[in-house]
């Protein structure tokens, strides 16, 4: 496996892959000053020919927009990382490039999109649908039948009650409680959640 992005997020993915018994060959980063991360070599993006690599890649960048930009220009196959302590129910699908971290619970009939991050100790209940490039932060809770659009970031400890739709490229603040549908590009904070501006 190769990781693109050599930051703290990459350290967590390395730990997951090692626990899965998956070998990390090296990392790639846009910062020429970064030469290593932990015990792994880091190559600058300009010197890395992605088309010559036959190994799978995970984009180890937490920012949804940047992760999408990097993914759009790579032609590699993408792998995924699932921590051994994560619990996945029946009929859960996980898209390529996605990462599921320690203690996450994803219940039955839930779809996780491509290049999505399910962070530490998240709870995602039955029949949820998360589109591509979503990031669910630590300890967030999605109740049953919640739909989350592309690129949305759900902050740490946020809660989304059942049967709601959260649009694309939404930012849900840490600790927010979402009690109604949220339109695309909204920034939502508080309990109950209120829209304070638009990202558009």
Active site residue 126: yes
Question: What residues contact residue 130 under an 8 Å CB cut-off, 6+ apart?
Answer: 110, 111, 112, 113, 116, 124, 136, 148
Residue 75 is predicted with a pLDDT of 81
DSSP 39: T
What is the reported pLDDT for 74? 85
Q: Looking at residue 45, what is its pLDDT?
A: 85
Helix (H) or strand (E) holding 103: none
| Catalytic residue (one of 83, 115, 126, 135) | 126
Q: What is the pLDDT of residue 53?
A: 61
For the residues 57-73, what does the mean pLDDT come to?
94
Q: pLDDT digit string (tens) for 75-109?
A: 889 999 999 999 999 999 999 999 999 999 999 99
pTM of the entire predicted model: 0.93
> What are the residues facing 99 on neighbouring strands?
81, 117
Nearest residue to 15 (alpha-carbon basis) of 30, 37, 34: 37
Chain center to CA of 167: 16
Q: Mind listing the domains of the chain with CATH numbers?
A: 2-73 (3.40.50.20), 81-191 (2.160.10.10)
CA distance 78 to 33: 26
How confident is the model at residue 50, as a pLDDT? Answer: 61
22 pLDDT above the threshold of 80: yes
Q: Which residues contact 102 (CB under 8 A, 6 or more apart)?
A: 16, 83, 85, 86, 120, 121
- On whether the CB atoms of residues 134 and 117 are closer than 8 A, the answer is yes
First to last CA, the chain: 35
Alpha-carbon torsion (91, 95, 97, 100), positive or negative: negative
Say how far apart CA 166 and CA 178 lie, in whole Å.
9
Average pLDDT over residues 50-58: 74
Window from 37-46, 79-88, 189-198 with minimum mean pLDDT: 37-46
């Amino acid at each position: 496996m190769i990781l693109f992005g050599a930051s703290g997020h990459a350290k967590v993915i390395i730990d997951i892959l090692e626990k899965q018994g998956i070998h990390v060959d090296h990392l790639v980063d846009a910062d020429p000053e970064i030469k290593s991360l932990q015990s792994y070599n880091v190559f600058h993006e300009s010197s890395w020919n992605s088309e010559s690599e036959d190994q799978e890649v995970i984009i180890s960048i937490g920012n949804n927009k940047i992760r999408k930009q990097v993914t759009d220009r790579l032609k590699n196959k993408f792998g995924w990382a699932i921590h051994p302590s994560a619990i996945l129910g029946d009929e859960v699908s996980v898209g390529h490039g996605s990462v599921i971290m320690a203690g996450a619970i994803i219940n039955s009939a839930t779809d996780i999109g491509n290049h999505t991050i399910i962070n530490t100790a998240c709870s995602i209940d039955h029949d949820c649908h998360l589109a591509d490039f979503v990031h669910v932060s630590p300890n967030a809770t999605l109740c049953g039948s919640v739909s989350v659009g592309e690129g949305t970031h759900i902050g740490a400890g946020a809660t989304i009650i059942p049967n709601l739709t959260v649009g694309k490229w939404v930012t849900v603040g840490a600790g927010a409680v979402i009690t109604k549908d949220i339109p695309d590009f909204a920034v939502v904070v508080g309990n109950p959640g209120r829209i304070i501006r638009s990202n558009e």
